[in-house]
């Protein structure tokens, strides 16, 4: 039975209320609060019972048939919500807006929040080490704007693009932030390149909205004031600018879905002013920056190597620094100098890390404060963190470098918060205010008075018990308490005849009877009234404390950011000490010079073979392209990735795995690596390879770093070599490119490029032949490889000896044929030469034997004609 095909007027009033709310949230699952449960009815119940494997029951709804129903307990709803969101659903939460005990008839209900993948705030549903971005993506003609917000931390980013690179730039930002939810307008959907990327490459939930949903005319300041942003003007945005559309689209959506979230966002980071290194989707994946290509795991990624953060905020910032390397040399140097100071003082570093160990997630705690969902323990965590800050500031004050000093300046000790919370809250508050016992004795006089009544109350009850015992002579008389009868006097069977007349019987049990008296009732009212009052007063005080902390949002946010930065710098320093990294020299002359560089991940992952370090020298002149030849499995890919990773590490401000490194800032890193077969997207390996190459030649500049691994491999040998050659020629000679390039190939035919193109240098991976076997030396040496060693590598890989033997004899035959063909060609050339020689000598001979002075015109003409036959 579904809502669509029933007569709503016949429904019970409550079901009519349900139907009315559901109409507004047709595309959502409606969690309808009923007592201690969120119930779902009709089609939602059918769907959810299946998705979450819940029992499907029914409820009388006024019709003959019962309405299908299933439910989840409200206190444990996060688990169910998480599963539904992960399965791609959106959930509207409909709460009772009045206490049912205060209502006559139907309890009013309202949707208080819509839960979508991009608007999560529950820590149980979020990954503490990653940001969770919601993105509004608005396009008009060739212009695009992206506004991204993480509701759980409060950060907002804004981008605007125009011109022919719009789609590409937008795709780069989507790869960088990988938002969990994207709001788009029709123009985005119609852009083939972008919609294919969103559909195929990133895991995200997409909402197609009307253009009007983005239009500032429809929202203007009403939406923006919700977020402490007063107007578009204050953001420096014109109402008709494309960015204004993205900003309004995003905030209007948050406003609609998060009704209670007020003032969480404070500042929008605009990215047009401060460019960063561009790393496309492919390079990000191939270089395994935050997860491995194959298993999508952190272990084995660059992030894993440099990740030694102590706080969740630092963890998230480390990831975002890694995803956005800097290109401003001064900023990179500031970070490197800070890391150097920390590396040089391991004692201070250890102490700072210890303090950071006690720092909680200020950003997400503040979101819960703003959301009014912070628990007493959350508030206590904020205060405990604040108490650590003076110590942190003291440690930092020992450093005089620019960045650490600046961080220290931005960290506030948050005294106002810690003073208030430490005075107001007990040392170990309960998880829920409703449990009571949150506020400390001595903080509020009224509360202390009420508490005295309770503790005095215990004395009153004891007095009554004593007195009654004496008066009645019932030795076993005692006073107990339960929820149903309140306080009662209990008399055991053997004393029944001593029960006085003023005792009012309440309950008879096997061995005893329970009574109340007027005096006991009066005492009970005083005590219970006081404990009710205590609970509501505690709640009131707690709300005041929480609301005060909410007023400190900006200062806590700034502190949180600075603490996170310190944490990342310490994390870099720790990695540098642990793995023996050096401080790179940052340059702008286009030179990358690395001595004994190592691959940061392979050197740690590899246990059976010692990692062999290698040098690199690239510049913008005669060393712009290194052609690296060598057999498969010899270490070409590892070497090239190592150069890219060292460059990237330097530009995020981290020390690098090398004895020495001079790194000239690069604007983009491109990769075309290995067989990243994208069969799921319906593309063959070769197509992927070629479209990656196309992307590189279209977008690389002279300041980029390009890594090409085996271009042209996915097709026939001649095609492959031809493509590989022409791509390298184009990259190394085209005026707009000429960028630093590492090009690995097993086509050793390509070593001739060194002689033909300026800027190309040959390198190879050294291999030692030992009889029939080869040994990889892993050393990159000048000069090209002389052969491919394909069969030897196949043997190393364990191909049966019969196949190896046959391959060898085939190779022998092919080589013999090639030699024969070469000899024939040489002979043909020789013939050509001797024929030329013969003709020359005939002509000379004839000229010598003839006296042209004796010839008349006709004879002369005939003679020349004859000679011309030999020329
Ligand atoms: P290729 O690209 O030439 O096929 P790879 O770069 O994939 O070769 O290297 C093959 C393996 O060799 C790697 O998985 C790694 O274990 C090992 N290797 C590569 N470079 C080194 C090195 N410099 N030192 C030690 N082992 C290395």
Whether 623 and 737 map to the same domain: the answer is yes
The count of structural domains within the chain is: 6
Q: 622 or 734, which is more confident?
A: 622
Name 434's Cβ contacts closer than 8 Å, sequence gap at least 6: 535, 539
Nearest to 573 by CA among 476, 647, 655: 655
pLDDT score recorded for residue 16: 92
Ligand 1 center to residue 602 CA distance, Å?
8
Same domain? 638 vs 763: yes
Question: Are both 620 and 647 inside the same structural domain?
Answer: yes
Residues 282-330 have pLDDT tens digits of 899 999 999 998 888 999 999 999 999 999 999 999 999 999 999 999 9
d(CA 824, CA 122) in angstroms, rounded, equals: 78
In a domain, 539, yes or no: no
| 55 and 161 within one domain | no
Tell me the C-alpha distance between 189 and 96, whole Å.
38
Q: What would the 3-class secondary structure string for 25-72 be?
A: CCCCEEEEEECCEEEEEHHHHHHHHHHCCCCCEEECCCCCCCEEEEEE
* pLDDT for residue 7 is more than 60: yes
Q: Is residue 439 part of a domain?
A: no
First CA to last CA across the chain, in angstroms?
A: 99
Q: In this predicted structure, which of 240-254, 316-330, 822-836 has the lowest mean pLDDT? A: 822-836
- CATH code: domain of residue 83: 3.40.1170.10
- Which CATH number goes with the domain that contains 137? 3.30.420.110
Say if residue 253's pLDDT is above 70. Answer: yes
Specify the pLDDT at position 806.
Answer: 78
Judge whether 521 is annotated as a binding position. no
Residue 632 sits in the same domain as residue 689: yes
Ligand 1 centre from 611 Cα, in Å?
A: 9
Same domain? For 92 and 62 the reply is: yes
d(CA 194, CA 143): 13
Are residues 677 and 766 both part of a single domain?
yes
632 is in an annotated binding site: yes
Query: Are the C-beta atoms of 624 and 741 separated by less than 8 Å?
Result: yes
Position 143 confidence tier, pLDDT thresholds 50, 70, 90: very high
Instruction: Give the range with max mean pLDDT: 215-229, 408-422, 505-519, 807-821.
Output: 408-422
**What secondary structure does DSSP assign to 796-839, as a single string?**
HTT--HHHHHHHHHHHHHHHHHHHHHHHHHHHHHHHHHHHHHHH
Structure-model confidence comparison of residues 420 and 849, the more confident one: 420
User: Tell me, what's the pLDDT at 769?
Assistant: 78
Distance, CA of 89 to CA of 181 (rounded, Å): 12
Quote the CA–CA distance of 713 and 637 in Å, as a whole number: 14
Q: Is residue 830 part of a domain?
A: no
Q: So what's the pLDDT on residue 239? A: 80
Percent of the chain whose predicted confidence (pLDDT) is above 70: 94
Sequence-ordered list of residues with C-beta below 8 angstroms from that of 467, at least 6 positions apart, any chain: none
Q: Using CA atoms, how far apart are residues 481 and 506, in angstroms rounded to an integer?
A: 12
Of the residues 273, 288, 318, the one at which a domain ends: 273
Query: 540 in a domain, yes or no?
Result: no
**Residue 815's pLDDT band (cuts 50, 70, 90):** confident
Question: Is 634 assigned a ligand-binding role in the annotation?
Answer: yes
The pLDDT mean for the chain works out to 88
Ligand-binding annotation for 720, yes or no, is no
Write down the pLDDT at residue 541: 96
Least-confidence region, from 112-126, 180-194, 847-861: 847-861
pLDDT score at 646:
98
pLDDT in tens, 268-278: 888 776 688 98
More confident residue, 589 or 7: 589
- Ligand 1 pocket: which of 611, 634, 635 to mutate (most atoms <8 Å of CB)? 635
Domain that holds residue 738: 585-799
How many angstroms separate the alpha carbon of residue 638 from the centre of ligand 1?
Answer: 5
Evaluate whether residue 82 is within a structural domain: yes
| CB of 641 sitting under 6 A from ligand 1 | no
Ligand 1 site, residue 612, Cβ cutoff 6 A: yes
Task: Give 417's pLDDT tier (boundaries 50, 70, 90).
Answer: very high
CB atoms within 10 A of CB 212: 12
Question: Is ligand 1 within 6 A of the CB of residue 601?
Answer: no
H/E run at residue 586: strand 585-587
pLDDT of 767 above 80: yes
Give the H or E element holding residue 245. Answer: helix 242-257
The residues near 178 (Cβ < 8 Å, ≥ 6 apart) are 133, 202, 203, 204
Q: How far is the CA of 350 from the centre of ligand 1 (A)?
A: 35
User: For ligand 1, is residue 609 a contact (CB within 6 Å)?
Assistant: yes
Residue 853 DSSP code: G
Could you tell me the two tokens for 84? 């539904």
**Which residue, of 230, 257, 273, is where some domain finishes?**
273
Q: Does residue 674 surpass a pLDDT of 70?
A: no
- What are the φ and ψ backbone dihedral angles of 258, each rounded to 5 degrees? -110, 75
> Which is the closest atom of ligand 1 to the Cα of 746?
3
> Domain for residue 671, yes or no?
yes
Q: Is 636 annotated as a binding residue?
A: yes
The reply to whether 631 sits in an annotated binding site is yes
| pLDDT mean over 511-533 | 89
Between the alpha carbon of residue 272 and those of residues 67, 157, 235, 243, the distances in Å are: 55, 10, 13, 11
Pairwise CA distance, residues 703 & 85, whole Å:
43
| Same-domain pairing of 593 and 570 | no
Asked whether 47 and 31 are in contact (CB, 8 A), the reply is no
Q: Look at strands 91-96 and 109-115 and give their pairing.
A: antiparallel
- The whole-number average pLDDT for the span 535-542 is 94
Same domain, 88 and 7: yes
Q: Tell whether the model's pLDDT for residue 555 goes beyond 50.
A: yes
Residue 597 Cβ < 6 Å to ligand 1: no
Q: Which residue has the tokens 């046959």?
A: 806
Show the beta-strand stretches assigned E in 702-794. Answer: 705-709, 740-745, 760-770, 773-782
User: Does ligand 1 lie within 6 Å of residue 634's CB atom?
Assistant: yes
State the CB neighbour count (10 A cutoff) for residue 622: 10
What's the pLDDT tens digit per position in 353-397?
A: 999 999 999 999 998 898 888 999 999 999 999 999 999 999 999
pLDDT at position 677 over 50: no
Residues with Cβ < 8 Å from 295, sequence gap 6 or more?
none
The response to whether residue 657 sits with its C-beta less than 6 Å from ligand 1 reads no
Question: Would the CB of 728 count as within 6 Å of ligand 1?
Answer: no
Residue 537 has pLDDT above 70, yes or no: yes
Q: Does the pLDDT value for residue 826 go beyond 80?
A: no
Three-state SS for 304-343 is HHHCCCCCHHHHHHHHHHHHCCECCHHHHHHHHHHHHHHH
On whether both 571 and 590 belong to a single domain, the answer is no
**Residue of minimum CA distance from atom 16 in ligand 1:** 606
pLDDT tens by residue, 63-118: 888 999 999 998 888 899 999 998 889 999 999 888 877 778 888 999 989 999 99
Residue by residue, DSSP assigns 327-385 as --HHHHHHHHHHHHHHHH-HHHHHHHHHHHTT---HHHHHHHHHTT---HHHHHHHHHH
**pLDDT reported for residue 683:** 58
Instruction: Answer yes or no: is 449 within a domain.
Output: yes
101 in helix, strand or coil? helix
* Contact call for residues 617 and 664 (beta carbons, < 8 A): no
Pocket lining: 767 vs ligand 1, CB cutoff 6 Å = no
Question: Same domain, yes or no, for 744 and 843?
Answer: no
CA atoms within 13 A on the CB side of 455: 6
**At residue 787, does pLDDT exceed 50?**
yes
What separation in Å is there between the alpha carbon of 802 and the centre of ligand 1?
A: 27
Q: What is the 3-state secondary structure (H, E, C) of 477-524?
A: CEEEEECCCEEEEEEEHHHHHHCCCCCEEEEECCCEEEEECHHHHHHH
809 carries a ligand binding annotation: no
> Highest mean pLDDT range out of 72-76, 434-438, 565-569, 833-837?
565-569
Helices (H), 636-751: 636-651, 685-699, 717-733
**pLDDT tens per residue across span 462-520:** 899 999 999 999 999 999 988 888 899 999 999 988 999 999 998 899 899 999 999 99
Neighbours of 468 (CB within 10 A): 22
- Tokens describing residue 563: 């603490």
Ligand 1 center to residue 379 CA distance, Å?
51
Which one of 115, 137, 159 terminates a domain?
115
Residue 434 is assigned to a structural domain of this protein = no
The total number of residues shown for the chain amounts to 871
Lowest mean pLDDT among 517-531, 538-552, 556-570: 517-531
Helix (H, G, I), strand (E, B) or coil at 397: helix
How far apart are the CA of 167 and the centre of ligand 1, in A? 36
Q: Cα separation of 152 and 843, whole Å?
A: 93
What are all long-range contacts of 18-24, with beta carbons under 8 Å and residues at least 24 apart?
A: 21/92, 21/94, 21/109, 21/110, 21/111, 24/111
- Residue 575: per-residue pLDDT: 98
777 lines ligand 1 (CB under 6 A): no
Q: Which atom of ligand 1 is nearest to the CA of 674?
A: 2
92's tokens: 């509207």
611 lines ligand 1 (CB under 6 A): yes
> What pLDDT is recorded for position 833?
47
**pLDDT confidence tier of residue 260, bands split at 50, 70 and 90:** low
Q: Domain holding 785: CATH number?
A: 3.40.50.300
> What is the C-alpha R_g of the chain?
39
- Residue whose CA is at the smallest distance from ligand 1 atom 4: 633
- DSSP-derived 3-state class of residue 420: helix
User: In whole angstroms, what is the distance from residue 26 CA to residue 22 CA?
Assistant: 6
Residues 573 and 660 in one domain: no
In Å, the largest CA–CA distance within the chain is: 173
CATH number at residue 452: 1.10.1420.10
Predicted pLDDT of residue 240: 83
Please give the pLDDT value at position 655: 98
């Amino acid at each position: 039975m579904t809502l669509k095909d029933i007569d709503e007027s016949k429904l019970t009033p409550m079901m009519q209320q349900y139907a009315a709310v559901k109409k507004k949230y047709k595309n959502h699952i409606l969690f309808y609060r009923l007592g201690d449960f969120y119930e779902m009815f009709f089609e939602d119940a059918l769907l959810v019972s299946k998705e979450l494997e819940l029992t499907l029951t029914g409820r009388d709804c006024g019709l003959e048939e019962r309405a299908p129903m299933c439910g989840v307990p409200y206190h444990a709803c996060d688990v169910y919500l998480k599963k539904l969101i992960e399965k791609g659903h959106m959930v509207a939460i409909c709460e009772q807006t009045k206490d049912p005990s205060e209502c006559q008839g139907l309890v009013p209900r309202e949707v208080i929040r819509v839960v979508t993948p991009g608007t999560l705030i529950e820590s149980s549903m979020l990954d503490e080490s990653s940001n969770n971005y919601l993105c509004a993506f608005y396009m008009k003609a060739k212009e695009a704007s992206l506004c991204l917000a993480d509701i759980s931390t409060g950060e907002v980013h804004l981008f605007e693009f125009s011109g022919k690179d719009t789609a590409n730039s937008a795709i780069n930002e989507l790869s960088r932030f990988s938002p969990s939810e994207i709001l788009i307008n029709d123009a985005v959907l119609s852009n083939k390149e972008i919609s294919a990327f969103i559909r195929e490459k990133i895991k995200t939930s997409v909402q197609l909205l009307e253009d009007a949903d983005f239009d500032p005319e429809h929202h203007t300041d009403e939406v923006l004031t919700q977020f402490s942003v007063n107007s578009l003007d204050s953001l420096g945005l014109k109402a008709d600018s494309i960015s204004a559309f993205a900003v309004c689209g995003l905030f209007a959506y948050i406003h609609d879905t998060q009704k209670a979230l007020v003032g969480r966002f404070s500042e929008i980071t605009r990215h047009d002013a401060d460019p960063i290194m561009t790393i496309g989707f492919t390079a990000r994946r191939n270089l395994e920056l935050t997860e491995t290509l194959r298993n999508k795991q952190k272990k084995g990624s660059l992030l894993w190597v440099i990740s030694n953060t102590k706080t969740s905020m630092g963890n998230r910032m480390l990831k975002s620094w890694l995803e956005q390397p800097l290109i401003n040399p001064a900023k990179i140097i500031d970070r490197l100098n800070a890391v150097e100071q920390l590396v040089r003082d391991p004692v201070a570093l250890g102490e700072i890390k210890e303090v950071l160990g006690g720092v909680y997630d200020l950003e997400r705690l503040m979101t819960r404060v703003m959301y009014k969902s912070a628990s007493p323990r959350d508030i206590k965590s904020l205060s405990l963190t604040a108490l650590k800050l003076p110590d942190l500031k003291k440690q930092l004050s020992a450093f005089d470098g620019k960045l650490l000093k600046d961080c220290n300046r931005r960290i506030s000790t948050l005294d106002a918060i810690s003073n208030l919370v430490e005075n107001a809250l007990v040392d170990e508050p309960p998880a829920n205010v409703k449990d009571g016992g949150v506020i400390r004795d001595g903080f509020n006089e009224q509360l202390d008075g009420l508490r005295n009544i309770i503790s005095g109350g215990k004395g009153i009850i004891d007095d009554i018990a004593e007195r009654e015992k004496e008066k009645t002579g019932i030795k076993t008389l005692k006073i107990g308490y339960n929820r149903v009868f309140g306080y009662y006097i209990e008399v055991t069977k053997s004393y029944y005849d001593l029960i006085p007349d003023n005792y009012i019987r309440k309950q008879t049990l096997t061995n005893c009877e329970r009574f109340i008296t007027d005096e006991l009732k009066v005492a009970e009212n005083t005590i219970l009234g006081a404990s009710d009052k205590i609970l509501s007063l505690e709640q009131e005080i707690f709300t005041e404390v929480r609301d005060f902390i909410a007023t400190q949002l900006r200062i806590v946010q700034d502190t949180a950011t600075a603490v996170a930065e310190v944490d990342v710098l310490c994390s870099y320093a720790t990695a540098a000490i642990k793995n023996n990294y050096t401080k790179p020299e940052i340059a702008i002359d286009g030179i990358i010079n690395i001595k004994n560089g190592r691959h940061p991940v392979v050197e740690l992952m590899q246990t059976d073979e010692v990692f062999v370090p290698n040098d690199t020298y690239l510049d913008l002149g005669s060393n712009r392209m290194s052609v690296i030849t060598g057999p498969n499995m010899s270490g070409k890919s590892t070497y090239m990735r190592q150069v890219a990773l060292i460059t990237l590490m330097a530009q995020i401000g981290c020390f690098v795995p090398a004895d020495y490194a001079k790194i000239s800032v690069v604007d983009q890193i491109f990769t075309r690596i290995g067989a990243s077969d994208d069969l799921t997207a319906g593309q063959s390996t070769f197509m992927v390879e070629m479209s990656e190459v196309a992307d590189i030649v279209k977008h690389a500049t002279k300041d980029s770093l390009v890594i090409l691994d085996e271009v042209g491999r996915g097709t026939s040998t001649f095609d492959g070599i031809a493509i590989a050659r022409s791509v390298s020629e184009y990259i190394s000679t085209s005026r707009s490119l000429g960028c630093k390039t590492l090009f690995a190939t097993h086509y050793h035919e390509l070593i001739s490029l060194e002689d033909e193109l300026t800027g190309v240098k040959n390198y190879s991976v050294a291999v030692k032949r030992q009889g029939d076997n080869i040994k990889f030396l892993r050393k990159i040496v000048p000069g090209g490889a002389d052969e491919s060693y394909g069969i030897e590598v196949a043997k190393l890989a364990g191909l049966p000896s019969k196949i190896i033997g046959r391959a060898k004899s085939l190779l022998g035959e092919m080589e013999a044929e090639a030699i024969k063909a070469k000899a024939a060609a040489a002979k043909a050339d020789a013939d050509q030469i001797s024929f030329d020689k013969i003709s020359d000598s005939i002509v000379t001979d004839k000229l010598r034997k003839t006296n042209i002075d004796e010839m008349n015109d006709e004879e002369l003409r005939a003679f020349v004609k004859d000679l011309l036959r030999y020329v």
